[in-house]
Each structure stands twice: as structure tokens, then as C-alpha cells.
Amino acid sequence: MTTLTSTGHATRTDRLPLGALLALAMTGFLCIITETLPAGLLPQMATGLGISPSLAGQTVTAYALGSLLAAIPLTIATSGWRRRNVLLLTVGGFLVFNTITAMSSDYWLTLAARFVAGMSAGLAWSLLAGYARRMVPVHRQGKALAVAMVGTPIALSLGVPLGTWLGTVFNWRSAFALISALTLLLIVWILAKVPDYPGQAGHERLPLRRVFTTPGVRPVLAVVVAWMLAHNMLYTYVAPFVAQAGLAGHVDVVLLIFGVAALAAIGVAGRLVDRHLRAAVLVSLFTFALVSLLFIWLARMPAAVYAGTAIWGLTFGGAATLLQTALADTAGDGADVALSMNVVAWNSAIAGGGLAGGMLLDTWGVSSFPPVLVLLLAIGWAIAWAARAHGFKPGPRHGAPVNLH
């Protein structure tokens, strides 16, 4: 693939190719719902597999580990392939391994299937942002990426609560079977709507070390780790967390509130990303930290949990758009490699959230979560604030028009 900031292969008009971008969004939807579905089904999965809730939480960890270990090597290995073939490969992985998860009655087989499904997701996340940016001119890249990322909050707002409801009414396996059915539809959609592009020539590829040492890349990745570690620690164990307020039977409602708020936020992020990226990142981190601080005292109040969850969703919805745009802009010609590093950072945080959250849950209980979240978010905010020259620059993105319509 040629540089992602070039418009050489992009459409010459300002019209967004919505059919293609929404197919990418559906791929992201599958990535997220496959990743997070156990968060709403921990009790059912634990009972069905004969394990503890904390061990059930490690199905999220296994998925994240697959993503972070596979993202860079698979991205490099497939960098010369036609882009649509790579996309179909990732989607096919979801079809196969979600089906295995739905059928498995063995914990270790389930973990293995989750791990390989995570490998598919790692390759997908390395591909999607660059694919979306390549379809449009520079000044439309932020909006195109926002559309391509809309599958994330939809999965959180509708997919996970619906899967949780299906798992409650029928069984948790039916939720994974439904994902496999949706995957078949997506394969047809990709073949019909998504344009194909050639792979990246060998002489165009930048080495990992050069991309990693590009000024601004490391601060953006550090913010990704701090922000997503805090988010996933809370999200993975949201069921026991909200049980403090007597909401154990309403996890699906809590997740719905979070997801609807996140969906609203991604629309806002699409409007802000090209002109106010730095401010949006700083405000989001600060607000999530403030909510986490209030949870120290208010986590046993149902109204406070519902309100705090909505605000948390608003701060999270635009995160993927904001952080991936900042990273791709900063990396320039090394954007493909940088985005694979983002997958590693993001999924390291997911895995870390599952592991650290499980340790906190078993050792000190869910009341220990809010202080840890505040600390992590404060670190992320400080890094983003310091990365003014490179990474999170003030003002509009390069190539963004002064007045957006």
C-alpha cells in the first residue's frame, strides 16, 4: 500500500464511499463484539464451562493476546497482498473460530479458539484505518475513519447487550453462533462493495525501528495503553462492578447505556477530529478520570452508576478515531506499520485490563477499581498534554480545510 496520507489512490470527489466504509465498520463491529461479548456473559460462560468468573474473563485476555502477538507479523507478512484478499482472510477467521467457540464445551479449546480469533482481529485492525483513509482525499480522512469506526460503538451499544440478552434467554453459545451468521453476510458485502487495492511494494516499507522512533509515535502509543487499560479493566468486569449497586440483573441495560453514549460520541469525534483532535483527547481523558474519581464514593448508587456509565461512553466513543488519526498522521509514510503497533498497544491494554482486573477482583474486590482508573487516566492525560510538538498537535490537521461543512 502506498502512503496513507497520499490521495493518489483516493476518490477525486468529496463524497464518502459509504457502502465500502460501512462494510469496514461491520468488520470492526465483528472485531469488537467478538472481543467483548464475554463481558456480558461471564456468569453464563463460567457455569457452562465449569470455571470461575475470573477465569471466564480470561477469554477476553486470550483474544487480546492473539491480536497483539499477531498484528505486526501478520501485517508485514500480508503487506504485499491485495488489500481485499487480506480483509476476506480476517473475516473468514471470525467465521471459523466463533463457530468453534459456540460449539466448544472445553475451556482450553475455547481459549485456543478465542486466541486465533484474536489473531484475525489483530490483522483487521492493522488494515481498517489505512483502508478507510486510502479511499478519500486527505481533508476527508478523519470523517472517513469516523464512519469506518462506527461499528465499534454499535457493537457496544446494540451488539453486546443483544448478545447478553440472547445468552440469558437461550444460552451463551447462541450469541456466538449469531456472530458467525453475520460474518457470512459480511463476506458477500465486501465482495460487492469494497474496492480492492494493490499491496505495498517492498521498497516502500519502513522498518519497525524507524517508525517506532518517529517523533510523536511513542507518546501516542503510550496514551493508547494508559487509556485502554483503564477502560478495559472496567469494561471486562462491568458485571461485578455494577452488582455493587444492585444492578447484577441489569448488566444489559448498563451496557446499552454505555454503547448508545459511545455511538453519539463517535459522531462528535467525526466533526472534531480534523480541527480539534488534541482538545478532544485531553477532554475525554479528563472527563473519564473525573467519573472514575466519583465512582470511589458513588459506585453503590444505581443512579450514579447509570449516569457515570453514560459519561464514560461519551468519553470512549471517539477514542479509536482520535488515536488512530493522531498515530497515522504522526507516522506519515510509516502509517501501516504504526497502526499495527497500535493494535499491539491496544490489545496489550485489553489483556492487561483482563489480568489486572481479575487480580484486583480476587484480591481487593471491585471497590479497588476506581482509584486505579484515576491513576492510569492521569498518566495518559499528562503524556498527551506533553506531546504538543509531536503526536497531539494543536490546531487543524495537515490538509484539513479551515471551514468544515
The domain locations on the chain are: 18-386
pLDDT at 12: 44
- CATH superfamily, domain 18-386, is MFS general substrate transporter like domains (1.20.1250.20)
Residue-wise pLDDT tens digits, 223-276: 999 999 999 999 889 989 999 998 888 887 888 898 889 888 888 888 888 889
Q: How do residues 159-190 score in pLDDT, each as one tens digit?
A: 667 777 777 777 888 888 888 999 999 999 99
Q: Quick count: other Cβ atoms within 10 Å of Cβ 293?
A: 16
Mean pLDDT confidence for 72-101 = 90
Nine-digit cell at 375? 491513576
Residue bearing the bigger pLDDT, 233 or 396 = 233
Residue 366, number of CB atoms within 10 A of its CB: 20
Which of 300, 295, 192, 196 has the alpha carbon at shortest distance from 248?
Answer: 300
pLDDT at 203: 57
Distance CA 346, CA 32 (A): 12
How does pLDDT run across 30-78, given as a tens digit for each residue?
998 888 788 778 788 888 888 887 788 888 888 888 887 888 889 888 8
* Segment 108-131 mean pLDDT: 90
- Indicate the average pLDDT of the chain: 85
Whole-number pLDDT of residue 405: 33
Report how far residue 4's alpha carbon sits from residue 141's, in angstroms, rounded to the nearest whole number: 9
Q: Is the pLDDT of residue 6 over 60?
A: no
* Alpha-carbon radius of gyration of the chain: 20
